Structure 1
Amino acid sequence: MKTEHEDICFDTEDIFRVSSGRGEAERQGRANTHRALALITHRFNVTSTEYTRFHKKIKIVIELSGNTATERVEQPVTSSDENPTLQSTTDEIIGICPRFRILVIGKTGVGKSSLINQAFGVDKALTSHEKPGEANIETEYISQQNDRFVLHDSKGFEPGDEDNVKIVQDFIEHRISEPALKDQLHAVWLCFEIPRAGGRLLETGTETFLTLKRDGKLGNIPVVVVFTKYDMLIDRVDRTLDSSSLKRLSEDAIKKLVKKKADAELKDICIRPLQKFAGRHITYTAISTKETHKETRAHLIRMTENLVRQHFAPEASVMTSIAQRVDPGLKISASIEVGKRRYWKALASSTAFKNRRTRECLNVLHTDIVAVWNFRDPHRYLYSSEFRTLMVNMVDKLDDEPTADPSRTIVVGLSIVGTIAGIVSALSGPAAPIVVPIAAGVVFAAWAHDVYQTSHAVLRRFMCYIIDLTLVLQTLYLVSESQELSRRAIKLAIASFLASPISGEVHTRIQEYDRGLTLLERADRNTLDKIIELMQLYSINAEEISELRAQIPAVGSSRDEPWEEANV
């Protein structure tokens, strides 16, 4: 038997970039590959860290693990070791994977454009504007309203059209072989309109494509089958119900009955034919672009992000969450992923911020959190000194207030969202300027100019800043509806958060946690866990936001106002 060998080259710098062990190992890797790999293997956190690369049709996984006792917080590297620059973690992620790259396949009229626009929060369709049924799969569509994703568009598989299957297959194979994560294809959405009972779902070309996927000939590229216009199926089922049998049912019970019957029909006309060619493990979901079914788009995004996380380096899944604009929960999850990489895990010991001014430390935390939410912010209001001052002084003001009774906290969940929605509605009148009880024009609080040090007061304030900023941005997500940000909308989000019980509760919980700390210099792990706990406790999911937006007046169309009107 003849055995053939092929050398496969690895870029060690690329390996270091997609891992949490950069620092000294990265520098030495340039000089000596083998020595660097030995060093980085020793230095890695014991949590599973992998580097994945595809060579032709072979998936190669390099697992790097090590002793957590040797773990230390990474320090950014510059030309001057004496005064290294604090580097944003999101900037590093964007450098590795600046955009989520997706291929959307579907015939004209299935709703691709509406789906893309709503999933990524853009106004104008990005799919092909050529003649109906035509699209160049190699064209990269990038929106100025959201440049964190790049779209490749492909027409559907028409009857008797085998050429497009070959075009799509070649495109996917080419993208699989790309060495850089930014050039690889991260996901495919294969879109079908839900047919009427008796209608045909799959054409021959589609069957061929799904068979290729089932047999592993398309690699591990995540493919999600998307059944569109789910609302039309719901309407059809609703019209066929016998009205006489519904007289004793509540409106909610009728909705559940309609959904149950619609899902049963979906299984018969869509899911069974799909699984015949794609196998039982194919990922699928039904969606509608109607506002009343926004949770279906959020479900699609969550499924996609989960698949990307399983098959690609972490930067790709983080960018999936950054690019999408339908699920705030994924934004918070991405913030946690970014925070855990470097700065949040050393707040108590101050290792990452040693000899730094507090304001400089807050700036890098601020940048990381804001970048994840990816608002339409062409004027960069969220990065302005005015907004940063508002956030610092919010922490300063609430930190000086009396501690609330932790036993009298509001119930998390819909009550939180309902509370904020009521406040937003009361504050968002079209005439009067929105007043924030913290002056934006004043200088930063005095403590922001101090050198960061290990102390209970510093830890408490930094925890407050991280969580307050996240929850303000969550409120801003509720009121902005993917529209271009205005100062008025930002002030409304701040005022609503401050007026809600949540702001006081967050600080109460942090104060209670701080009082329980004994060995502050060893509290990093517990501090990180507490930040994550509080962010998740007060998070709002897409379903709740969809229900409540109908109760809130539109803010995006309101006249903007300057920061100075926030002074009192």
Structure 2
Amino acid sequence: MDPARVKEHFDRIGCFRVLVMGRSNAGKTTILQRVCNTTDLPEVFNSEGEKSELLLRDINCTNHSQRGYHNIEAELIFKSNRAFIFHDSRGFEAGSEDEMEVVRNFVADRATTIKLEKRIHAIWFCIPMTDYERAILAAEEKFFKECDTRNVPVIVVLTKTDSLESVAIGQLIDEGSSMREAKLKVRDREKKLLIYHETRIINELKGFKYPPKGYLTLGNMNKDNADCNPLLRCTTNALDSIELQQLLISTQQTNLVLNIECVIEK
């Protein structure tokens, strides 16, 4: 990619900005760390770009009832890759009308604002497969029914898919397999379980007023060889603007595989 064009995009648009949504156990932080190639926690800034220890304490608070609704405005930036700015809608899983209103207003404002450097370019909505039986709760249903996301692509990320391994083993043993036999058959059963639940979730989300634009599954993101390319590739394909596609690709200049793939596709 022409470095001059990359710089032009960054100067005009700013960083690639993502709203990350999902439950507190969805593995969101681990995914963001993988995308930015780090194990460090992000720095937290307020909407004016000022580093804030108060927001950092609020973001790290484990008690949802003590979190302020302003958290979604906080900007999370990793030192390893400052080309990304993340927003996290913490506490949203409670599904209250006040929390929904905060998210709805944030998306409405940030998806269309004339201030390009403040505009969000994508939403990553994480749903953990540890909760596969109750994947779509009231909060998810309310978001996809009520939050107008026509101006920003939503990517649903089914996370922690590796958790289905224990489910698969349990099923096989219940069906009469020994532990040794179950371990030999587990990969095939795990794959079938993932396909079944992924299809079920996609079909349910497609029935809502504002369905996602893309879907993918991610597992074992806590391992050293974890691959976040599918998420970046899916997001790139969901973007309508070639300019934004180039901006996202440029954040991964060291990722030769992704760069080559995107160049060939375009």
Could you state the TM-score of these two structures normalised by the residue count of structure 1? 0.38
Aligned residue for 1:226, secondary structure, equals strand
Task: Using the TM superposition, give the Cα deviation of residue 218 of structure 1 relative to its aligned residue in structure 2, in angstroms.
Answer: 3.0
CA displacement, residues 303-346 of structure 1 (integer Å, 9 cap, x when unaligned): 111112x2x3x332122123248953222356x5xxxxxxxxxx
Alignment partner of 2:243 out of 312, 315, 319: 315
Kindly tell me: are residues 263 and 156 of structure 1, through their superposed partners in 2, closer, same or farther at Cα, counting changes over 3 Å? farther
Contact kept in structure 2, 1:210 and 1:277, CA below 8 Å:
yes
**1:165-180 to 2 correspondences below 5 Å:** 165-180=100-115
**1:20-419 to 2 correspondences below 5 Å:** 88-126=4-42, 128-133=59-64, 134=67, 136-196=71-131, 199-213=133-147, 217-242=148-173, 243=177, 255-268=187-200, 270-277=201-208, 282-288=213-219, 289-291=221-223, 294-295=226-227, 297-308=228-239, 310=240, 312=241, 314-324=242-252, 328-333=256-261, 336=263
Task: Using the TM superposition, give the Cα deviation of residue 267 of structure 1 relative to its aligned residue in structure 2, in angstroms.
Answer: 3.2
Q: Which runs of 5+ in 2 are unaligned?
A: 45-58
Contact kept in structure 2, 1:225 and 1:283, CA below 8 Å:
yes
**Which residue of 1 is the match for residue 48 of structure 2?**
none
Aligned residue for 2:72, secondary structure, equals coil
Q: Distance in 1 between the 2:141 and 2:230 partners?
A: 25
Paired amino acid for 2:206: Q
**Which residue of 2 is the match for residue 384 of structure 1?**
none
Paired amino acid for 2:140: T
Aligned residue for 2:114, secondary structure, equals coil
Instruction: Give the total of aligned pairs.
Output: 242
CA displacement, residues 414-468 of structure 1 (integer Å, 9 cap, x when unaligned): xxxxxxxxxxxxxxxxxxxxxxxxxxxxxxxxxxxxxxxxxxxxxxxxxxxxxxx
Paired amino acid for 1:294: A
Task: Using the TM superposition, give the Cα deviation of residue 246 of structure 1 relative to its aligned residue in structure 2, in angstroms.
Answer: 8.7
Contact kept in structure 2, 1:108 and 1:132, CA below 8 Å:
no
CA displacement, residues 135-158 of structure 1 (integer Å, 9 cap, x when unaligned): 611111222211110011111533
**Which residue of 1 is the match for residue 54 of structure 2?**
none
Paired amino acid for 2:137: E
Aligned residue for 1:185, secondary structure, equals coil
Q: Distance in 1 between the 2:172 and 2:30 partners?
A: 29
Task: Using the TM superposition, give the Cα deviation of residue 186 of structure 1 relative to its aligned residue in structure 2, in angstroms.
Answer: 0.2
Contact kept in structure 2, 1:120 and 1:326, CA below 8 Å:
no
Q: Distance in 1 between the 2:254 and 2:232 partners?
A: 8
Q: Distance in 2 between the 1:204 and 1:260 partners?
A: 27
CA-based RMSD of the aligned residues comes to: 3.4
Q: Distance in 1 between the 2:115 and 2:131 partners?
A: 43
Task: Using the TM superposition, give the Cα deviation of residue 102 of structure 1 relative to its aligned residue in structure 2, in angstroms.
Answer: 0.3
Task: Using the TM superposition, give the Cα deviation of residue 290 of structure 1 relative to its aligned residue in structure 2, in angstroms.
Answer: 3.9
Q: Distance in 2 between the 1:97 and 1:89 partners?
A: 12
Contact kept in structure 1, 2:26 and 2:128, CA below 8 Å:
yes
CA displacement, residues 349-374 of structure 1 (integer Å, 9 cap, x when unaligned): xxxxxxxxxxxxxxxxxxxxxxxxxx
Q: Distance in 1 between the 2:237 and 2:180 partners?
A: 39
Paired amino acid for 2:11: G
**1:517-536 to 2 correspondences below 5 Å:** none
Contact kept in structure 2, 1:157 and 1:203, CA below 8 Å:
no
Paired amino acid for 1:182: E
Contact kept in structure 2, 1:246 and 1:254, CA below 8 Å:
no
Q: Distance in 2 between the 1:280 and 1:167 partners?
A: 19
Paired amino acid for 1:192: I
Contact kept in structure 1, 2:168 and 2:189, CA below 8 Å:
no
Task: Using the TM superposition, give the Cα deviation of residue 224 of structure 1 relative to its aligned residue in structure 2, in angstroms.
Answer: 1.0
Task: Using the TM superposition, give the Cα deviation of residue 164 of structure 1 relative to its aligned residue in structure 2, in angstroms.
Answer: 1.2
**Which residue of 2 is the match for residue 350 of structure 1?**
none
Contact kept in structure 2, 1:140 and 1:151, CA below 8 Å:
yes
Kindly tell me: are residues 278 and 111 of structure 1, through their superposed partners in 2, closer, same or farther at Cα, counting changes over 3 Å? farther
**Which residue of 1 is the match for residue 51 of structure 2?**
none
Kindly tell me: are residues 209 and 142 of structure 1, through their superposed partners in 2, closer, same or farther at Cα, counting changes over 3 Å? same
Contact kept in structure 2, 1:162 and 1:205, CA below 8 Å:
no
Paired amino acid for 1:332: I
Could you state the TM-score of these two structures normalised by the residue count of structure 2? 0.75
Kindly tell me: are residues 187 and 259 of structure 1, through their superposed partners in 2, closer, same or farther at Cα, counting changes over 3 Å? same
Structure with more relative contact order (C-alpha pairs < 8 Å, separation 6 or more)? 2
Aligned residue for 1:291, secondary structure, equals coil
Contact kept in structure 1, 2:21 and 2:126, CA below 8 Å:
yes
Kindly tell me: are residues 326 and 137 of structure 1, through their superposed partners in 2, closer, same or farther at Cα, counting changes over 3 Å? farther
Q: Distance in 2 between the 1:320 and 1:156 partners?
A: 28
**Which residue of 2 is the match for residue 361 of structure 1?**
none
Contact kept in structure 1, 2:164 and 2:190, CA below 8 Å:
no
Aligned residue for 2:74, secondary structure, equals coil
Kindly tell me: are residues 232 and 149 of structure 1, through their superposed partners in 2, closer, same or farther at Cα, counting changes over 3 Å? same
Comparing both structures, which one devotes a greater share of its residues to strand? 2
Task: Using the TM superposition, give the Cα deviation of residue 254 of structure 1 relative to its aligned residue in structure 2, in angstroms.
Answer: 5.6
Task: Using the TM superposition, give the Cα deviation of residue 276 of structure 1 relative to its aligned residue in structure 2, in angstroms.
Answer: 3.7
Aligned residue for 2:226, secondary structure, equals helix
